[in-house]
Structure 1
């Protein structure tokens, strides 16, 4: 098992959990759970592979990825009723998934020799696009766009930190740094309200 596949599999599982939780909040059937789980799980990695011209994309090359997403969907379908606050669980699981998917995207970008800021941007897209699709289809305000929260910023700074460290250390430690920075910032936003100033319009003169 390669490092890239391990990261993809881990991010797929956790992101699929968030997709299934979104389906539970919408009170969908098992097919809806499977759809939301798969859409969320493979959305970011698919965009990454298409942009980097990786053929075939990762879940076609490794169909076991889809079974991982399906397993997460079934797990949530039979256990979501035990969770007191599904919205809170979704937010924290999404933070964990983001901190895995960003290094997963960065790992592929580095392995394919992407230069400059391309590598961290690929990490950001991998980490954010699946959750964006989930929230849009669920008719929710996407987490990535919620007012004042650190989401895209957490992903970008995490990917940037990992990319920078990769110039001095091996890929493994660099990816760990990317994941830790991403989770630290996103968790701080959820737990302590860390965020960026938001635009406040002024009355016209």
Structure 2
């Protein structure tokens, strides 16, 4: 599986992260602290120092081990954020989870929507997975809009699921399986064939 060649759609691209991306990604995380902090994973054991170069090396090792695919999102070949396919399971489960962040200056351009669509299609084709999941905090309206636009199916509320911004936070779970999108997520979205209510959260789960 060679992901060194970027996948592109118009002005948006995704590609495998590189060691030399450390500087620009580190700077984006610093410059976007207030923008990203409410949605950023933290540790219940307390603050940890983060070395982007070491982080990328670990992500690339997970990629070599077949456990994940660390990607950067690009806008006109400029790094706009990061998208990780993580928790890859093989065998009878054949699934993975997608997580992402985009710099505030690139928000509102459909970059993340297109990147998530391309990454999900990559999971179903290049990775030969069956199911892709995205978990989102109920307060993260921008991310909820992405799964709505792409037609990810709502699958339930996960109480105190992930440690985010200093505490255990509830998350909504959304997913697609390969049979949902026989021609691809991006193709279905572009053709306007996304089911309108797939990502609707029922009243009983709304927070």
TM-score > 0.5 by shorter chain: no
Between the two structures, name the one with larger relative contact order (CA 8 Å, sep ≥ 6).
1
TM bracket (short chain) = 0.3 to 0.5
TM-score with structure 2 setting the length: 0.35
Structure with the higher helix share, 1 or 2: 1
Structure with the higher strand share, 1 or 2: 2
